[in-house]
Amino acid sequence: MSSVSNSSFPTIGLNVSEGRQHLAAKESGAFKYVFEHYRDKADWFLKADDDTYVILENLRYFLKDYKTNDPIYFGHHFKTHSKQEYFSGGAGYVLSREALTRFGTKGNDPKLCRKDGAASDLATGQCMEKVGVKIVN
């Protein structure tokens, strides 16, 4: 995902202004794109930056006892700014299919979810809480 499309790399342009102050809009747009195009093609959805490393076998093993129809997400836990807290965006997070569905269907409401102007991980955490997605640490 990127601010602009680039067929030589390739990227999916989200039509979001560049800059740290717009990371929440970029992340929200990325989740919306994944919801619209891939929600029925996977059980779990991973948000990771280009410098995040994941051992997929360990992730599969970790997720095997959880249900993808439960509204849950996983990540590196921070304990500030939100009732249920939130996860570090730099470490990435994993959303169940139901978490992605709630974000995709209810997260467009600006009364529930901030679209821009905040730290993306904090905005995502607050949005997840308001649409009924629980963190699992």
pLDDT tens string 70-89: 999 988 776 665 565 666 66
In terms of Cα–Cα distance, which of 119, 38, 37, 39 is closest to 86?
Answer: 119
According to DSSP, residue 136 is labeled: E
Confirm whether 14 is domain-assigned: no
CATH of the domain at 56: 3.90.550.50
Confirm whether 129 is domain-assigned: yes
Confirm whether 12 is domain-assigned: no
Confirm whether 7 is domain-assigned: no
Confirm whether 15 is domain-assigned: no
Query: What is the span of the domain harbouring residue 91?
Result: 20-136
Confirm whether 100 is domain-assigned: yes
pLDDT of residue 43: 96
pLDDT of residue 4: 80
Confirm whether 65 is domain-assigned: yes
pLDDT of residue 90: 65
Residue 38 — φ and ψ, nearest 5°? Answer: -135, 5
Confirm whether 108 is domain-assigned: yes
Q: How many other C-beta atoms are found inside a 10 Å radius of the C-beta of residue 73?
A: 25
pLDDT of residue 79: 64
Residues 20 and 90: beta-carbon distance below 8 Å = no
pLDDT of residue 131: 93
Enumerate residue ranges in the chain where pLDDT < 70: 78-90, 117-118
85/94 Cα distance (integer angstroms):
16
pLDDT of residue 92: 79
Number of structural domains the chain divides into: 1
